């Protein structure tokens, strides 16, 4: 056996002893930890900062503020990153964003994705029925794709596209108008901007009404 | 060593043979857009044609397209959107890159085929996915009142390129017609005859330029009844 090999072996043994010692010392610390544990800082962020508009459980009650409960985590992560880096702007969100750090994004997104979404409310069933046709089939004459292809038939979205189901009408309408005007421009390939340009105001209202009831 | 060389050259034979068989695509002036060479092999089209398409990835990328072209690219019976299922991959690649380069006129499709939406690899993936989708017998058919004459026209003017059963020819970028929706066939045939499609093969324009509307309806009806697959 060479000197080098013997050295490795020796260090290996020493390493185990050192690790053994740190295990021994860690035991009382670990036992004390639960009593001293502070609430998770990101959860605190949700329940103290985001809560003001989105509620702790993500089921916002103000129609202008989006429901986040059950939203796709990938979507939430992207939107938070876009807000922090200036790709998406919202003057109501801005003062609160100073309290969100880039390192919190993943956990914050996971928190709201894990909340249970409450049901939405349809106010105008006739309008919702007109919206269903757009949601499922689009508008062939204007070249509007059916929303269901990406956002799924029940509006639950998937890892690539956001959940829409149960969203407040007012929020959906606002975002569609912002896409159309270019005020919101963080959509992939400008797809939502192009689609919103092809929808009339009435069609936007209708599809938002249908989405609220999904 | 000699044996290995022999094996390699035997393996290469079918590839070479298929290249020779397909030959270079026809080059001619396109009628719709002045001075354009039909199916010119330029950058992006070549890139997509050369890329190895991944059907599983293509199924995911095609998600957005399903908003119009429906699940699996079945299209719509009312002809508003073509059936893409079972179409030859090179045909799909040609059409998408033509639309995006402005060679084929299709304003509905333009925003969805932009370079910021799909890259050359995505196009190859989508084409691989769609080419593998089954052509089902539920396509829209014509009224069925002039099929015999439609069949005669087809045999005389169309079968040479599109094949007796409308299966097209992948290597020559001739589309499969079987299983396509009648109203889409009719819409595009009219656009081609009227010089409105933009990227039509000049031979195709020549073949139907004397067709009346009734002729186009008859031949489209016949084609919509060709056995799918």
Report yes or no: B18 and B171 within 8 Å, Cβ to Cβ. yes
A156 with A205, same domain: the answer is yes
Please check whether residue A118 lies inside any domain of the structure: no
Residue B215 has pLDDT above 60, yes or no: yes
- The whole-number pLDDT of residue B75 equals 97
CA torsion angle B99 B100 B106 B107 (round to 10): 180
pLDDT tens string A92-141: 999 999 999 999 999 999 999 999 999 999 999 999 999 999 999 999 99
How far B185 CA sits from the closest chain A CA (Å)?
Answer: 17
Rounded Cα distance, B98 and A55, in Å: 49
Neighbours of B91 (CB within 10 A): 21
| HSE-CB of B219 using CA atoms within 13 angstroms | 24
Q: Which helix (H) or strand (E) holds A173?
A: helix A169-181
**Domain with A162 in it:** 125-212
A51 assigned to some structural domain: yes
Please state, rounded to an integer, the average pLDDT across all residues of chain A.
87
Domain ranges of chain B: 39-134, 135-229
Residues sharing a CB contact under 8 Å with residue A178, sequence separation 6 or more, in sequence order = A184
State how far the Cα of A203 lies from the Cα of A211, in Å rounded to an integer: 12
From A81, A113, A145, the end of a domain falls on: A113
Residues 21-80 of B with CB under 8 A from A: 60, 63-68, 76, 78, 80
Our count of domains for chain A comes to: 3
Is residue B106 pLDDT above 70, yes or no? Answer: yes
- Confirm whether A119 is domain-assigned: no
User: Within a domain: residue A197?
Assistant: yes
Residue A67 lies in a domain: yes
**Which 3-state string (H, E, C) describes A31-96?**
HHHHHHCCCCHHHHHHHHHHHHHHCCCCCCCCCCCCCCCCCCHHHHHHHHHHHHCCCCCCCCCHHH
Q: Evaluate whether residue A120 is within a structural domain.
A: no
Mean pLDDT (chain B, rounded): 87
Number of H helices, E strands in chain A: 11, 0
Contact A59, A50 (CB under 8 A): no
**Gyration radius of chain A's alpha carbons:** 25
CB count, 10 Å around CB of A98? 9
Mean local confidence (pLDDT), A28-40: 58
- Pick the residue of B60, B61, B66, B68 with the most A CBs within 10 A to test the interface with A by mutation: B68
Which domain-ending residue is among A83, A113, A143? Answer: A113
Residues A91, A146, single domain; the answer is: no
Query: How many residues in total does chain A contain?
Result: 214
Q: Report the distance separating Cα B114 and Cα B99, nearest Å.
A: 9
Distance from CA of B66 to the nearest CA of A (A): 5
Contact list, A194 vs chain B (CB under 8 Å)? 111-112
- Minimum Cα–Cα distance from B116: chain A residue: A189
Contacts of B155 (CB under 8 A, 6+ apart): B164
pLDDT in tens, A59-92: 999 999 999 999 999 999 999 999 999 999 999 9
What percent of chain A has pLDDT above 70? 83
Nearest CA in chain A to B118: A189
| Distance from C-alpha of A164 to C-alpha of A72, rounded to nearest angstrom | 10
Q: Is the pLDDT of residue B168 over 50?
A: yes
> Does the CB of A145 have a partner CB in chain B at under 8 Å?
yes
Which residues of chain B make contact with A188, given a CB cutoff of 8 A? 117
Chain B residue with the nearest C-alpha to that of A143: B108
CATH code assigned at A86: 1.10.760.10
- Residues of B whose CB is below 8 A from A146: 66-68
Q: What is the pLDDT of residue B44?
A: 87
With contact defined as beta carbons under 8 Å apart, do B100 and B114 qualify?
yes
The predicted structure's pLDDT at residue B38:
86
Q: What is residue A37's predicted lDDT score, i.e. its pLDDT?
A: 67
Answer for the pair B164, B85: CB distance below 8 angstroms, yes or no.
no
Using the Cβ of B121 and the Cβ atoms of chain A, whether some distance falls under 8 Å is answered with no
Q: Are B198 and B190 in contact (CB under 8 A)?
A: no
**A148 and A194 both lie in a single domain:** yes
Tell me the pLDDT tens digit for each residue of B121-151.
999 999 999 999 999 999 999 999 999 999 9
| CATH of range B135-229; options 3.10.580.10, 3.30.70.20, 1.10.760.10, 2.102.10.10 | 1.10.760.10
**Region of poorest pLDDT, from A95-99, A172-176, B39-43, B111-115:** B39-43
Q: What value does the mean pLDDT take over residues B30-45?
A: 70
Which residues in chain A (79-118) have CB-CB distances under 8 A to chain B? none
pLDDT at A1: 41
Percentage of residues in chain B with pLDDT exceeding 90? 77
Crossing angle between the packed helical segments B120-131 and B89-100, to the nearest 10 degrees:
140
Under CATH, to which class is B39-134 assigned? mainly alpha
CB contact under 8 A, B112 and A138: no
Sort out which chain A residues have CB atoms less than 8 A from B65's CB and list them. Answer: 145, 149
Instruction: Find the closest chain A residue to B68 by CA distance.
Output: A145
The strand pairing partners of B169, in sequence order, are B174
Neighbouring residues of B36: CB distance < 8 A, sequence distance ≥ 6: B29, B30, B103, B199
């Amino acid at each position: 056996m060479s000197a080098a090999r013997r050295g490795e072996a020796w260090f290996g043994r020493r390493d185990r002893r050192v690790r053994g010692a740190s295990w021994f010392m860690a035991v009382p610390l670990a036992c004390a930890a639960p009593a001293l544990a502070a609430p998770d800082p990101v959860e605190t962020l949700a329940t103290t900062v985001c809560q003001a508009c989105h509620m702790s459980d993500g089921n916002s009650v103000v129609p202008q503020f989006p429901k986040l409960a059950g939203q796709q985590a990938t979507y939430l992560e992207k939107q938070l990153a876009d807000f922090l880096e200036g790709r998406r702007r919202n003057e109501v969100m801005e003062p609160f964003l100073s309290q969100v750090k880039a390192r919190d994004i993943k956990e914050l997104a996971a928190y709201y994705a894990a909340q249970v979404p409450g049901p939405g409310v349809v106010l105008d069933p006739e309008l919702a029925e007109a919206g269903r046709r757009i949601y499922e089939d689009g508008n062939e004459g204007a070249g509007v794709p059916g929303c269901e292809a990406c956002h799924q038939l029940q509006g639950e979205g998937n890892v690539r596209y956001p959940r829409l189901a149960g969203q407040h009408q007012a929020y959906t309408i606002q975002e569609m108008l912002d896409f159309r005007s270019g005020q919101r421009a963080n959509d992939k390939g400008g797809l939502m901007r192009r689609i919103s340009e092809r929808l009339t105001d009435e069609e936007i209202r209708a599809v938002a009404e249908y989405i609220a009831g999904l | 060593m000699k044996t290995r060389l022999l094996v390699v050259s035997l393996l290469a034979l079918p590839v070479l043979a298929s290249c020779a068989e397909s030959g270079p695509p026809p080059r001619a002036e396109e009628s719709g857009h002045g001075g354009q060479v039909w199916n010119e092999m330029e950058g992006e089209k070549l890139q997509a044609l050369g890329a190895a398409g991944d059907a599983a990835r293509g199924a995911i990328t095609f998600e957005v397209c399903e908003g119009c072209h429906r699940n699996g690219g079945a299209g719509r019976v009312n002809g508003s959107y073509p059936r893409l299922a079972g179409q030859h991959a090179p045909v799909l690649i040609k059409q998408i890159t033509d639309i995006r380069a402005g060679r084929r006129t299709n304003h509905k499709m333009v925003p969805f085929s932009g370079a910021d939406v799909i890259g050359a690899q995505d196009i190859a993936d989508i084409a691989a996915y769609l080419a593998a989708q089954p052509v089902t017998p539920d396509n829209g058919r014509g009224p069925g009142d002039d099929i015999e004459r439609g069949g005669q026209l087809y045999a005389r003017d169309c079968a040479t390129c599109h094949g007796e059963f409308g299966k097209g020819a992948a290597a020559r970028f001739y589309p499969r017609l079987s299983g396509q929706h009648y109203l889409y066939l009719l819409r595009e045939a009219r656009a081609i005859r009227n010089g409105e499609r933009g990227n039509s093969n000049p031979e195709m324009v020549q073949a139907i330029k004397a067709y009346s509307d009734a002729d186009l309806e008859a031949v489209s009806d016949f084609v919509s009844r060709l056995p799918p697959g």
